[in-house]
Amino acid sequence: MSAVRSTILSAVLFVTYIGIGALAHDTHFSLAWALLATLLVWAGPAQIILISTLASGASVVQSAIAVTVSAIRLFPMVVAVLPMMRTPETKRRQLVLVAHFTAVTLWVECYRFLPHVPRDRRIAFVHGLGSGLVLIGLVATVIGYELAANLTQTLGAAILLLTPLSFLFSTARNSRELADVLALGLGLAFYPLASLLDSGLDILISGVAAGTIAFAVHKWREGP
Amino acid sequence: MNNFMSDFFGDWHALVVLLLAGVIPNQIWRMLGLWLGGGLDEGSDLLVWVKAVATAILAGVIAEILVHPPGALASVPGFLRYGALVVGFIVFMLTRRSIFAGVVSGEVFMLAGKWWLG
């Protein structure tokens, strides 16, 4: 738990989940729904996409597509995290919970903490770290939900504004490569254009277009 | 008691939707990473593209919350919502990428503007 306390990222996590709790309240989801989403989805962007698409009237299939595309980034994260704790005796099922806990916060913290943890203790360490982070997320979800239910309109708006601000800055902080910076900037700029189409898949359309252009520029700069 | 429980859980239909549209489409990638991981190069073109698209989708979500604000945020005029993001970003860059400073100054800008408008 001391590992959890000492991370700055857990403050970002806390703020993000306060925003998610408030968003769930203002879009008329139940508290149990919001808590189950935090526990079982455990990915801030996916939860916000799920809530905002469903609230804006998208079908289950449209929401599922938007969520699954946003979740693709978890695949390379899991692929990168697991070798750090695998030993020749490790069975795959021992890593299921580690895979579930893997999200951007855990991913970054593994690089920071695991070198100081003996290899045979790493799975246990990550189980502890992951549970602590999920607990922070659950508590923050309740706080955000209740705050949105009880605060004045202006303070409620301030809570909802936490999500775009904390997401933008934590993503910008993690964007070291040109492709990531471009994807972030173009993604912000393209969404208002795509939303004019009013297709129900606006986020997907702007995301794939902006991401592909960012990738193309990255390849072009790299040379043939 | 009954009332509390039904408020807490909401309707069962929404929980099924959570499973179908949220949990499964999200977890599938983690479990694929667990089953297939190992043979993939982190710098491969496919993964660079996937990361760029995922980042752009996240950016789209940020923009969506500001362009089509949910609930109480809709009571804030557009120029204050966009202004909060711009002011926060400038402070974020000036403070050598402090997430905390960026979030706080964006919030202060929005609240000050709201107070000034009355």
Answer whether residue A29 shows pLDDT above 90.
yes
Region A171-196 average pLDDT: 89
Looking at the complex, does the CB of residue B94 fall below 8 Å from at least one CB of chain A?
A: no
Residues in B closer than 8 angstroms to A92, CB to CB, are 34-35
Answer whether residue A9 shows pLDDT above 80.
no
Region A34-55 average pLDDT: 92
Answer whether residue A2 shows pLDDT above 70.
no
How much is the ipTM here?
0.83
Low-confidence winner among A208-212, B43-47, B83-87 (lowest mean pLDDT): B43-47
- Distance in Å from the first CA to the final CA of chain A: 48
Chain A, nearest residue to B77 by Cα: A157
Confidence of residue A5 (pLDDT cuts 50, 70, 90): very low
Residues in A closer than 8 angstroms to B40, CB to CB, are 76, 79
Cβ of B72 and A148 within 8 Å? yes
Confidence of residue A84 (pLDDT cuts 50, 70, 90): confident
Q: How far is CA B46 from CA A72, B10, B74, in A?
A: 11, 41, 38
Q: What percent of chain B has pLDDT over 90?
A: 50
Answer whether residue A214 shows pLDDT above 60.
yes
Asked if residues A73 and B50 have their Cβ atoms less than 8 Å apart, the reply is yes
Side chain identity, residue A218: H
Cβ of B114 and A157 within 8 Å? yes
Region A75-81 average pLDDT: 80
Two tokens, residue B50: 């996937």
Sign (positive/negative) of CA torsion A106, A111, A113, A118?
positive
Pairwise CA distance, residues A125 & A181, whole Å: 33
Answer whether residue A186 shows pLDDT above 70.
yes
Looking at the complex, does the CB of residue B88 fall below 8 Å from at least one CB of chain A?
A: yes
Instruction: Sort A110 into a burial class: Cβ within 10 Å, 0-12 / 13-18 / 19+.
Output: buried
Domain boundaries defined on chain B: 1-39
Pairwise CA distance, residues A153 & B70, whole Å: 12
Nearest CB among B25, B27, B55 relative to A171 is that of: B55
Chain B, nearest residue to A215 by Cα: B49
pLDDT at B40: 59
Instruction: Sort A88 into a burial class: Cβ within 10 Å, 0-12 / 13-18 / 19+.
Output: exposed
List, for residues B91-106, the tens digit of each pLDDT value. Answer: 999 999 888 899 999 9
Answer whether residue A4 shows pLDDT above 70.
no
Residues in A closer than 8 angstroms to B68, CB to CB, are 56, 195
Two tokens, residue A198: 């009013």
Answer whether residue B89 shows pLDDT above 60.
yes
List, for residues A156-165, the tens digit of each pLDDT value. Answer: 899 889 888 9
Q: Tell me the shortest Cα–Cα distance from B12 to chain A, in angstroms.
A: 9
Kind and range of the H or E element at B60?
helix B45-67
Cβ of B61 and A70 within 8 Å? yes
pLDDT at A97: 94
Nearest CB among B42, B52, B67 relative to A179 is that of: B52
Chain B, nearest residue to A55 by Cα: B70
Answer whether residue A212 shows pLDDT above 90.
yes
Highest mean pLDDT among A9-18, A46-55, B79-88: B79-88
Low-confidence winner among A218-222, B33-37, B83-87 (lowest mean pLDDT): B33-37
Chain B, nearest residue to A30 by Cα: B10
Region A165-182 average pLDDT: 86
Pairwise CA distance, residues B85 & B31, whole Å: 35
Answer whether residue A210 shows pLDDT above 90.
yes
Residue with tokens 């693709």: A72
Confidence of residue A200 (pLDDT cuts 50, 70, 90): low
Chain A, nearest residue to B90 by Cα: A169
- Average pLDDT across chain B, whole number: 87
Region A2-10 average pLDDT: 58
Nearest Cα residue to A195 out of A67, A59, A58? A58
Looking at the complex, does the CB of residue B118 fall below 8 Å from at least one CB of chain A?
A: no
